[in-house]
Amino acid sequence: MSRAYNFAAGPAALPEPVLRQVQAELLEWDGVRASVAEISHRSPEFMRVATEAEADLRRLLSIPGDYAVLFLSGGATTQQALVALNFAAPGQVADYVVSGHWGKVAIKQAKDYVRANVAASGEAGGFRDIPQAAEWKLSKDAAYVHMTANETIHGVEFRPEWGALPETGDVPLVADFSSSIASEPLDVSRYGVVYAGAQKNLGPVGVTVVIVRRDLLERAGQPRADIFNYASHANAGSMLNTPPSFNWYLAGLVFKWMLAEGGVEEFARRSAEKARLLYAAIDGSDGFYRNEVAPGVRSRMNVPFFLRDDALTAAFLAGAKDAGLLALKGHRVLGGIRASLYNAMPVDGVRALADFMQDFRKRHG
């Protein structure tokens, strides 16, 4: 067996120690003489998995006690609709800051339930920058303000260099953290809702984490089936229906691995080093490679870049694959190359990519 460095944007690489543990436990788990994928989600054994996963995630992200933690199916896109249904009255205005493709998708999912006000958008500039907070046109009576912390496709991220988020008063800030959660410390108390698909930094595809301030669960929202009600999921311990139990178990193992590795502080250090290595390889190439994102909002997680001669892109991708560097093809929206540097990507993987980029440039520059 020869595992390569997997730069996929999602489903993304998982930590190898976690995969090996899953492999060892797959047929018979924890002495129950069956796989964890086969046992009841209400069994005492799985209830322990669920309890430990929540406790570990709370520790990892320093989640305050007045926030509920939900483990749900449906992905981040489903949450974009559920946020509107749960926290806005029918036709109420909701503010959206659109920093890339997924910000636009968030509006698409919610537009039948709210009056979506585009408070700020980077689309006119090709989503290469994020409008400064002073430019945001926020509504006084908004149900919430929605933002996307990191745009997986366009490679823009809210960074300290960009500045501070605006104070929204009694209007809760709702944030999609799917592609950057747990990559650095997060002040959860700054947000009313944080949601994230697990398949980038937290675990496998199929389970989504929703962190919601408990007082928001008391909002009436809009008419909806009970299965779409966050409060009902919270009251049922995320077991209102059969949850994605195997995915939940696997995510729990990732949480334990991250804690053992040093927690979000250590992954913040690694993320900074990986981003520095890759951006240095791009910026130091005399234009052979280019990243078009404004420096102050460059993503640490997803780095799109382009070759000076687009005709070389196919050769670059083929050569990278032969060198054991996988899933570098850019998203169809942008084309080019995209490297995703999530928590499971080791620093050595980014060094290998930077070395390949230098060698490719020497041969084709």
Greatest extent of the chain over all pairs of C-alpha atoms, in Å: 62
Its pTM surpasses 0.95:
yes
**Residue 360 structure tokens:** 């490719």
Q: Distance between CA atoms of 289 and 313, rounded to whole angstroms? A: 11
Q: What is the SS3 assignment for 309?
A: coil
* Active-site pick, 29, 56, 200, 257: 200
Q: Are 146 and 96 in contact (CB under 8 A)?
A: yes
pLDDT at 1: 60
Residue with tokens 């797959």: 26
Q: Can you spell out the DSSP letters for 117-167?
A: EEEEE-GGGTSSS---GGG----TT-S-EEEESEETTTTEE--TTT-PPPP
Respond yes or no on whether the N-terminal peptide bond of residue 11 is cis (omega within 30° of 0).
Answer: yes
* Active-site pick, 56, 95, 129, 176: 176
Amino acid at site 43: S
Q: Whose CA is closest to 87, among 248, 188, 182, 195?
A: 195
Q: Distance between CA atoms of 62 and 47, rounded to whole angstroms? A: 22
Q: Is the dihedral of CA 194, 199, 201, 202 positive or negative?
A: positive
Q: Is 274 considered catalytic here?
A: no
151 bridge partner residues: 156
**Residue 227 structure tokens:** 């299965």
Burial class (CB in 10 A: 0-12, 13-18, 19+), 365: middle
**Residue 214 structure tokens:** 């408990």
Q: Is 102 considered catalytic here?
A: yes
**Residue 9 structure tokens:** 């944007």
pLDDT at 365: 85
Kindly list the averaged pLDDT for each block of 10 residues, start to end, along the chain of length 365: 91 98 97 96 97 98 98 96 98 97 98 98 98 97 98 98 96 98 98 98 97 98 98 98 98 98 98 98 98 98 98 98 98 96 98 98 95
Q: Is 176 considered catalytic here?
A: yes
Q: Whose CA is closest to 73, among 198, 180, 183?
A: 198
* Active-site pick, 102, 162, 248, 257: 102
